[in-house]
Structure 1
Amino acid sequence: MTEAADVIVAATADDPAVRAGEASAAAAVAAGESPPDVPLTDLTAAAFFDVDNTMMVGASIFHFARGLAARKFFTTSDLVGFAWQQVKFRVGGRETKYSTTTGRDTALSFVAGRSVAEVLALGEEIYDELMADRIWAGTRALAQMHLDAGQRVWLVTATPVELALIIARRLGLTGALGTVAESVDGHYTGRLVGEILHGPAKAHAVRALAATEGLDLRRCTAYSDSINDVPMLSAVGTAVAVNPDSQLRDLAKQRAWQVRDFRTGRKATRIAVPSVLGAGAVAGAVAAGLAYRKK
């Protein structure tokens, strides 16, 4: 994994969302592209997929946090506590001062001092244990459609970039844009570069990557389930709402965006609670472990 100190050039913008987007794009480029055996015949078009409830049932960061809690990174009561903060955010429908401040200032603080290699290894284990069976087959097929057309496919998520890259590699995708946690000499400092990759930051990341990779955003496609991702969806030529929340469904209808819904009655009901509990796109479930204890 590339360290932030090695791949992130000093951002001239004061906006944390811009810094987060640029940092994420730089990390994605530095990580390289995969899989190498897939021929690229359409170099100016690409697809960008949100992860939580778009590519995966529930929130990837919450599944990751569950795995870390099982390994005593923090307690189960901590997990319940910051999950409740996410419930309040999801139900309230907007970012609170607590969620944005926590996400920016204390994200990943509980892994401060731990090695990037250790967290990567745990991410591989946790993907196999808690995530592999949660991939939406329909969304995976959409990603494969772009790969078969010779286009590159990136995940775009608030999840830490290390975990996002693991998911992308396991799905055979090109790479991932995710939240960048600062690391020095192979160990996390407990700080972020910019902020959580959420909302406008995702759009900045997509634009920065497009500029580096020579993509024509008018020929690109973005997929998401959330109204929070409208900036990213609006940055490309084709927007697709996948398993959309009610606000995004309404907006998609207004803007004549495509809608793909892979949920069915019982499944939609079954995933409703974990989806809400895992709505860590803003504060980030792993970001809140130490923060909740301090609170």
Structure 2
Amino acid sequence: MALAIFDLDNTLLGGDSDYLWGRYLAENSIVDPQSYHDTNLAFYHDYQSGQLDINAFLQFVFEPLANNSMQDLLNWRADYLQQKILPIILPKGRELIEHHRQQDDILLIITATNSFLTTPIAELLGIDNLIATDPEMIDGRYTGQVRGVPSFQHGKVTRLQHWLAEHEYNLDGSYFYSDSHNDLPLLEQVDTPIAVDPDDKLAEVARQRDWKILSLRE
């Protein structure tokens, strides 16, 4: 029994759940459509290039959580899951998850996207264990601040180390599937790093280090 770790966005999903949440908010005029879309897109490009200021990004994406009631947020999230997420769950991603489930591996999603969005996505994928960036909540409302270490770049390693200690697991025989060079710190920690439909930078590293390269796209 080993630990099978999956990135979420552009790995198990054929798109980015955080970016698509921003698109949903803009399309439904929950935020100012043009300015929010432009800023969201700029942050997404920063992420792809490895230049993302995670604290500035989290301040931006957590603002709608802080400015709206929990009931509205839950209603919007349910609609967003139907419109934006269900259509981009990759069938081959589900097959990969099932392959590891049949091997009795421990399944874990680790993602930079916040837990408000990704908890129900992990449930849709049938994965109980999730490490995500956590928005702070006080008295049943989001504050707009982050709680703890963001699950991004080296932060994914930090969060995973805490999770391993808490659950008394280790990385013996472990796998990690990711599309992004932002995940190199964690890919370097596991026994079997696998580049999934990788960006150009990760593809180059994977070839240099003889890591397996896999496609889950149709």
Normalising by the residue count of structure 1, what TM-score does the alignment of the two structures yield? 0.68
CA distance in 1, matches of 2:140, 2:25: 19
Q: 2:12 aligns with which of 55, 65, 80?
A: 55
Residues 101/210 of structure 1: CA separation in 2 closer, same or farther (3 Å cut): closer
- Aligned pairs, how many? 218
Check if 1:206 corresponds to 2:180. Answer: no
- Alpha-carbon distance in 2 for matches of 1:214, 1:146: 20
- How far apart, CA to CA, are the structure 1 residues paired with 2:152 and 2:211? 21
120 and 159 in structure 1: CA distance in 2 versus 1, 3 angstrom threshold: farther
Distance in 2 (alpha carbons) for counterparts of 1:159 and 1:121: 19
The Cα shift of 1:225 comes to 0.4
- Work out whether 1:73 is the aligned partner of 2:24: no
Secondary structure of the equivalent of 1:218? coil
Instruction: For 1:1-295, list aligned pairs within 5 A.
Output: 42=1, 45-86=2-43, 88-89=45-46, 93-95=49-51, 99-116=53-70, 118-194=72-148, 196-263=150-217
Deviation at 1:66, TM superposition (A): 2.0
Q: What's the offset of the Cα at 1:117?
A: 5.2
CA deviation map 1:143-192 (0-9, x unaligned): 11111112221211111112111111011112321111100011001111
Aligned equivalents of 1:253, 1:125: Cα separation in 2:
40
Structure of higher RCO (CA pairs closer than 8 Å, 6+ residues apart): 1
The Cα of 1:102 is off from its aligned counterpart by 1.2
* Superposed displacement of residue 221, structure 1: 0.9
SS state of the match for residue 183, structure 1? strand
The runs of at least 4 consecutive aligned structure 1 residues that moved more than 6 Å come to none
Identity of aligned residues (%): 27
**CA shift in 2, pair 1:79/1:106, >3 Å:** closer
Shift of 1:124: 2.6
Q: CA contact under 8 A between 1:200 and 1:231: conserved in structure 2?
A: yes
- What secondary structure, in the 3-state scheme, does the structure 2 residue paired with 1:235 have? coil
Q: Structure 1's 105 and 60: CA in aligned 2 closer, same or farther, altered over 3 A?
A: closer
Alignment root-mean-square deviation, CA? 2.1
| Long gaps (5+) in structure 1 | 1-41, 265-295
Q: CA deviation at 1:197?
A: 2.1
Change (3 A) 1:104 1:127: closer
More strand by share: 2
Which structure 2 residue ranges, 5 or more long, are not aligned?
A: none
- Residue identity matched to 1:95: Q
Whichever residue aligns with residue 209 of structure 1, its letter is W
